[in-house]
Structure 1
Amino acid sequence: MTTALITGATAGIGAAFARRLAADGHNLVLVARDTKRLREQATELHDRHGIEAEVLTADLATEGGIETVEKRLSDPRHPVDLLVNNAGFGNKGRYLEVSMADELTMLKVHCEAVLRLTSAAVPGMRERGRGGVVNVASVAAFLPRGTYGASKAWVVQFTQGAAKDLTGSGVRLMALCPGFVRTEFHQRAGMGTDNIPSWMWLDADKVVAAALADLARGKQVSIPDARYKTLLGAAKLVPRGLLGGITSKTGRKYGPQ
């Protein structure tokens, strides 16, 4: 059986990836900060699907945490065939309302960790002639949304560029760009969500199903819902200045994942 490593695996989109991949028969390496929660998740997935689920406690906001996952990804004795870079978070507040320390932590998790973990996983995949990387970004990547949007835009651009360089290698890279997903994301950031229309919410399991289908098709960017594809198409017609004002007013309060 193949092995998938998922960061931010205990909740939201990461947990949905774990459920789906375990059901499909993949062994897992589950990465997050909460060891107790990881062990409970690993036991449940093993008992339900008969797969092996390895627990790897790591905080990707720290140098040691990134190094721990890099080491596991580059271990030739236990190859990883699919990497899902899902770990991430939001900061509530406008530019200059969020501390510089928090802004830099976001860049470390969203950009540095994604770069380093992808770079640790891909060489072995290329040697074996197969493998995949899903880097979880956001529709915020396509909107003027401060550090969060900028970091997710970097994820999309990096993924597309790396995918082009790896053409013909058997390794697929894809940026996943969902909209609002019902997860713990907003609660953890202290963001209110009461005014978000119900039709804008996506289900994490459906997002993952669409993402894996797009990865199998060889897509480099996945926007896993027709509603958001339509919204992003319409956003291209709105002047950037006006769009920036709208997204700054609403996005900083709610922060799509």
Structure 2
Amino acid sequence: MPTALITGASAGLGAEFAHQLADRGADLVLVARSRDALDALAGELAERRGVAVEVLVADLAVEADVARVVARIADAARPIDVLVNNAGFGLPLRFADNDIADEVRHLRVHVEAPMRLMHAALGVMRGRGGRIINVASVAGFISRSTYSACKAWLIGFSRWANTEYAPDGVTVTALCPGFVHTTFHSRMGLAEGQEGVPRILWLDAPYVVRAGLRAAARGRAVTIPSLRYKAIVALSRLVPRSLTAGVARRGRM
């Protein structure tokens, strides 16, 4: 059985990745900050899907916790075949209004942690094969504060890594959804209606995860679920950055 490690697995896209990978017969290592949520999900998946599920409680903004996840990934005796870097969160204010400590934590979770986990995974996957899925965002193609900057880095790094390590049998895919029905926005204290985003732009988590897994299986470096968001990204390349930045202030992708 393949084994998949998923960060941010307690809810949203992370939990959906866990369900869909378990449906495909993968054993799981679930990583998140909330033990209660992880234990509940692990129990459900083990009972209903019959897969082995390991729980690893970790805050990826904390050095010691990242080191524990890295150690698990680097354990060649229990190799990870699929790594899903999904953990993330949004900040409610504009950059200058957020506490700088929150901005630094945001950077660690969105950039440093995926980089370190990928480094550990590549050390085990090269030569034996594996898949890495980095949950990025359409925001990575649009100018918007540190969230967009972090996602742009993840997209660019995934493009390079997918080409670099394809000869070693490893694929690296950046999954770039737009607005998704998850708990991402509510954790910032925002209801979906408060985002000012048309209903047509919201995507369902199962659809997004299926698109990500399909793209990874095909070895694609970047995938944008839905034609509407592909059109938005194409259009964003043709209009001034000041315009896309202004539109992006209406909500977080």
Normalised by the length of structure 2, the TM-score is 0.97
In structure 1, what is the Cα distance between the partners aligned to 2:242 and 2:37? 43
In structure 2, what is the Cα distance between the partners aligned to 1:109 and 1:83? 15
Say which SS state the counterpart of residue 102 (structure 1) adopts.
Answer: helix
Alignment of 1:1-257 (within 5 A): 1-128=1-128, 130-194=129-193, 195-247=196-248, 249-250=249-250, 254-256=251-253
Letter in 1 for 2:20: R
CA contact (8 A) 2:127 2:169 kept: no
CA deviations 1:21-67 (Å, max 9, x no partner) are 00110000000011111111001001111000100000001001100
Say which SS state the counterpart of residue 55 (structure 1) adopts.
Answer: strand
Say which SS state the counterpart of residue 140 (structure 1) adopts.
Answer: helix
- TM-align CA RMSD: 1.0
In structure 2, what is the Cα distance between the partners aligned to 1:145 and 1:244? 6
Say which SS state the counterpart of residue 203 (structure 2) adopts.
Answer: coil
Q: How far does residue 181 in structure 1 lie from its aligned partner after superposition?
A: 0.4
In structure 1, what is the Cα distance between the partners aligned to 2:19 and 2:166? 29
In structure 1, what is the Cα distance between the partners aligned to 2:191 and 2:28? 33
Q: Which structure 1 segments of 5+ residues have no match?
A: none
Q: How far does residue 167 in structure 1 lie from its aligned partner after superposition?
A: 2.6
Letter in 2 for 1:246: V
Say which SS state the counterpart of residue 39 (structure 2) adopts.
Answer: helix
Q: Which structure 2 segments of 5+ residues have no match?
A: none
CA contact (8 A) 1:156 1:175 kept: yes
In structure 2, what is the Cα distance between the partners aligned to 1:212 and 1:95? 33
In structure 1, what is the Cα distance between the partners aligned to 2:95 and 2:73? 35
Letter in 1 for 2:159: Q
In structure 1, what is the Cα distance between the partners aligned to 2:144 and 2:151? 10
CA contact (8 A) 2:3 2:79 kept: yes
Q: Runs of 4 or more off by more than 3 Å in structure 1? A: none
Sequence identity, in percent? 48
CA contact (8 A) 1:191 1:255 kept: no
In structure 1, what is the Cα distance between the partners aligned to 2:211 and 2:191? 27
Letter in 1 for 2:184: F
In structure 1, what is the Cα distance between the partners aligned to 2:115 and 2:56? 19
Letter in 2 for 1:39: D
In structure 1, what is the Cα distance between the partners aligned to 2:247 and 2:178? 16
In structure 2, what is the Cα distance between the partners aligned to 1:167 and 1:131? 10
In structure 1, what is the Cα distance between the partners aligned to 2:189 and 2:149? 21
User: Relative to structure 2, which stretch is displaced further, 232-241 or 221-230?
Assistant: 232-241
Letter in 2 for 1:233: A
In structure 1, what is the Cα distance between the partners aligned to 2:145 and 2:132? 26
Q: How far does residue 246 in structure 1 lie from its aligned partner after superposition?
A: 2.4
Say which SS state the counterpart of residue 79 (structure 1) adopts.
Answer: coil
Q: How far does residue 192 in structure 1 lie from its aligned partner after superposition?
A: 4.2
